[in-house]
Structure 1
Amino acid sequence: MKTLKLHTYLFFVTSFLSLSINAQQLQSYIQEAELNNPQIQAYELRYNIAQEKVREANSLPNTTVSAGYFVSEPETRTGAQRARFSVSQMLPWFGTITARENYASSMAETDFVEIAIAKRKLALSIAQSYYELYAINAKQSVLDENTQLLKTYERLALTSVEVGKASAVDVLRLQIRQNELHQLKAVLGQEFLAEQSNFNNLLNRKQSIAVKVVSDLLLPLEEPVYLQDSLELNPELIKYDRLYESITQSELINQKQSAPDIGFGLDYVPVSERTDMDFSDNGKDIVMPMVSLSIPIFNNRFKSITKQNELRQKEIELQKMERLNVLKTTFAKAIAMQNQARININTQEKNLKQARDAEEILTKNYETGTIDFNEVLDIQELQLRFQLNGVEAVKSYYVQSAVINYLTNQ
């Protein structure tokens, strides 16, 4: 009983350490990618531009300055007017600038959410590539293990040939099978280089840099609890909330723009003195303050924009609902595939144990001189298939975990 408890404890510790090392290593790659990935950098620049637009919104229309010279000077009672100088400034309706700033801020928030989405997608791509590299490495290790097993059987076959209990054909079959495993390993080596190049491209670094992956991945003893409600916090859905808010702010601007604009100005006209008479206001310059209103009498345009904004908000609500349904479907499939992977792993472990029991029986039969090398090859092929299937199942389990993390951020 103590031995069983110790074995269980060691398995738990090993499993925990494996998961911890895997998480730390993968997280370090993701952090490096977020710093170096050009797509993320482009999204961040877009966000910086959006923030600048907030400052741009806090501005007034251009000040109008004009000057004119009278070629033919008009005569007035106080003298001839020589020129005219004007300056005017239009001001938007009260609260318009604040509304513009709020709209620009809401658009900046939308761009910020795009950064979060891009980072999640990048993390998912890196995790998928990482687990693909793990699977290739694990398969190569399995092939090495089976190659060593076949070499052991080859030595047994050679000994049997010497004593006349086996045919040279058996030795050749074992050697052919080893050649096939060498071929499979070489093919996997090329797949690893291609996937390593893809992984390094995601991190925006040289393709030839070696990628370190864990040598073994163990499943957690218990499945973590995933809450479907957390899908509501996915940035893909939050983006629609930000877009909805931006249209609300856009409508506020529309309402402000449908109000009059106020203008203030000043005209200055220099006047020449009259020489034919003398009086108190002779040659007095003209200074004329002005106030103007720009009234949108024909406001069908603003009514149309209001209607468009209402339709856009309804469209966004429907788009969010549709996207939520897609995320729910993806979430359900990922959970199901993760459960299938665990079932597959357990099945492959049972099959592998039974195949190794059969191998042990065949090895014991060798002592009596009744070993059948055709059966040896069959058992070895079964072991290889079970092991490779197990590696694929482990990869599938963790890839689906990465998908669930993307959806729920757990």
Structure 2
Amino acid sequence: MKIQHSIFKIQNFKKAICFCLLLIFSVTTNAQLLDNYIQQAIENNPKVKAVELSYKGAQEKVNEANTLPNTEFGAGYFVSEPETRTGAQKAKVSVRQMMPWFGTITARENYSSSLADAAYVDIVIAKRQLALQVTQTYYQLYALKNKQKIIQQNLKLLSTYEDLALNAVEVNKASSVEVLKIQIQQNELNEQRELLMGDELAMESKFNNLLNQEEQAIMVEDSIDIPVEEPMLSMNDLELHPELEKYDQLFLSIKKSAALNNSESLPSVGIGVDYIAVEERPNMNFSDNGKDIFIPMLAVSVPIFNHKFKSVERQLNLQQEELKAQKEYRKNQLDSQLKEALQQRISARISYQTQQKNITQAKDAEDILLRQYETSILDFQEVLAIQELQHKFQLKQVEAIKNYYLQTAIINYLSN
């Protein structure tokens, strides 16, 4: 009776395990927990803050561009005083302001503004990359935690098997070797659990660093499942990816730089005035005696030797061609990554479905063995073999869920 009671205990426990597995793998649309982590990371991560500060610096460059060249002031004292009809020249003061050609300041502002736009795209890229890292780390944590749950459930089941084996030894239906085999399997599972616990601590540390917070336990969802149908995806979405848009913004900034280079190759005009203090001639009385001198000045700066501007123009043309090639290369890389992620996600779905079938069939096999024990001697070797298979299938199913969402995170980064 005691042995039969243990059998019923195993069967009830197996039902409880199946119920727990259904809870673990039940469909859920609640991703609020992960969304909160991503938002926290974006608000606190130092890399995002650094990129945002860089963007603010680029914006300030626009104000810097809206300036004129320095106003030139000069003053001199005549050590040897030149004599003029109206008197000796004592000192000279001058002021001059150079003015760029019409439209040059606007061209400079447009160029600085285009660089700021490119810097803003860096913010978008940094946030998307951070969201990708947080998402992938989150699902890796989910897998580590749930693998430990599965191991703990199997340890409880093995403990029940151990009791059953000890009872069987007492009535000469099993040998002590069977008990030792169960204990060896328990040792193996305990080792796996301890290794997973260490991996979990390391992964939580990484996750906390992404959130830029003190070390603390990370909560993950209890229930994550793979959707029934594969989401539809348009490959054209890749054209709008920020990493490719960054090349478009840089290309535009080069065009603005070319316009600025053309403006700077035009003459500059300067206006100013010279003032000369004149001393009165003594003992003389005539008009304009000691009259100071004012000299309005007009200056023109002409870039006669404009090899510099022509060289800059050629450099900008080469940079445009370089950006086109870099964009095409990066686009091919992203396209390959997207297609690989889609294929890996399909593979994860297939693995998940296969493991689900394997788990069901392994459970059926175990139930058959347990029912046979009611009328004959229980073959512990077969039971343990089936239990080991179930354990392997359960872990592989969790791994398939993790891989599915790791690839989904990559797909979302590339296509959304």
Q: TM-score if structure 1 supplies the norm length?
A: 0.94
Correspondence 1:144-293 to 2 at 5 A: 144-207=152-215, 209-293=216-300
Supply the AA of the counterpart residue of 1:233.
L
What does residue 89 of structure 2 align with? 81
Q: Secondary structure at the match of 2:279?
A: coil
Q: Say whether residues 1:338 and 2:345 are aligned partners.
A: yes
Q: Secondary structure at the match of 2:93?
A: strand
Q: Secondary structure at the match of 2:373?
A: helix
Task: Give the conservation status (yes or no) of the 8 Å contact 2:59–2:113.
Answer: yes
What does residue 396 of structure 1 align with? 403
| Whole-angstrom CA distance in 2 between matches of 1:47 and 1:197 | 30
2:320 counterpart (299, 313, 317): 313
What does residue 130 of structure 1 align with? 138
CA deviations over 1:209-250 (Å, ceiling 9, x no partner): 110001221111222111111111111001000100111111
Identity %: 54
Q: Secondary structure at the match of 2:273?
A: strand
| Whole-angstrom CA distance in 2 between matches of 1:320 and 1:331 | 16
| Whole-angstrom CA distance in 1 between matches of 2:192 and 2:372 | 30
Q: Say whether residues 1:19 and 2:29 are aligned partners.
A: yes
Supply the AA of the counterpart residue of 1:291.
L
What does residue 18 of structure 2 align with? none
Q: Secondary structure at the match of 1:288?
A: strand
Offset at residue 78 of structure 1 (A):
1.1
Q: Secondary structure at the match of 1:225?
A: coil
| Whole-angstrom CA distance in 1 between matches of 2:350 and 2:33 | 27
- Identify if the C-alpha distance between structure 1 residues 15 and 384 changes in structure 2 by more than 3 Å, giving closer, same or farther: closer
Aligned-pair Cα RMSD in Å: 1.2
Supply the AA of the counterpart residue of 2:159.
K
Task: Give the conservation status (yes or no) of the 8 Å contact 2:26–2:223.
Answer: no
Task: Give the conservation status (yes or no) of the 8 Å contact 1:74–1:81.
Answer: yes
| Whole-angstrom CA distance in 2 between matches of 1:185 and 1:26 | 25
Task: Give the conservation status (yes or no) of the 8 Å contact 1:19–1:218.
Answer: no
Correspondence 1:66-105 to 2 at 5 A: 66-105=74-113
Offset at residue 333 of structure 1 (A):
0.3
- Identify if the C-alpha distance between structure 1 residues 158 and 15 changes in structure 2 by more than 3 Å, giving closer, same or farther: closer
Q: Secondary structure at the match of 1:142?
A: helix
Task: Give the conservation status (yes or no) of the 8 Å contact 1:137–1:215.
Answer: no
Supply the AA of the counterpart residue of 1:43.
V
Offset at residue 151 of structure 1 (A):
1.6
Task: Give the conservation status (yes or no) of the 8 Å contact 1:138–1:216.
Answer: no
Q: Secondary structure at the match of 1:271?
A: strand
Task: Give the conservation status (yes or no) of the 8 Å contact 1:65–1:88.
Answer: yes
Q: Secondary structure at the match of 1:81?
A: strand
Supply the AA of the counterpart residue of 1:19.
T
Q: Secondary structure at the match of 1:368?
A: coil
CA deviations over 1:292-350 (Å, ceiling 9, x no partner): 00000011111111111011001101111111110110000000000000000000111
Task: Return 5+ residue gaps in structure 2 as ranges.
Answer: 1-21
Q: Which stretch has the larger CA shift, 147-156 or 27-36?
A: 147-156
Q: Secondary structure at the match of 1:307?
A: helix
CA deviations over 1:176-219 (Å, ceiling 9, x no partner): 21121111111111110010000000111112x11000122111
1:369 counterpart (373, 376, 387): 376
Supply the AA of the counterpart residue of 1:35.
E
What does residue 7 of structure 2 align with? none
| Whole-angstrom CA distance in 2 between matches of 1:173 and 1:197 | 37
Offset at residue 273 of structure 1 (A):
1.4
| Whole-angstrom CA distance in 2 between matches of 1:160 and 1:69 | 119
| Whole-angstrom CA distance in 1 between matches of 2:282 and 2:221 | 103
- Identify if the C-alpha distance between structure 1 residues 149 and 15 changes in structure 2 by more than 3 Å, giving closer, same or farther: closer
| Whole-angstrom CA distance in 2 between matches of 1:106 and 1:368 | 83
| Whole-angstrom CA distance in 2 between matches of 1:300 and 1:68 | 36
Q: Secondary structure at the match of 1:279?
A: coil
Supply the AA of the counterpart residue of 2:244.
L
Offset at residue 15 of structure 1 (A):
5.1
Post-superposition, which runs of at least 4 consecutive aligned residues in structure 1 deviate over 6 A?
A: none
Q: TM-score if structure 2 supplies the norm length?
A: 0.93
CA deviations over 1:98-123 (Å, ceiling 9, x no partner): 11111111111111111111111111
Offset at residue 275 of structure 1 (A):
2.3
CA deviations over 1:6-26 (Å, ceiling 9, x no partner): xxxxx9xx955x232xx2111
| Whole-angstrom CA distance in 1 between matches of 2:349 and 2:29 | 16
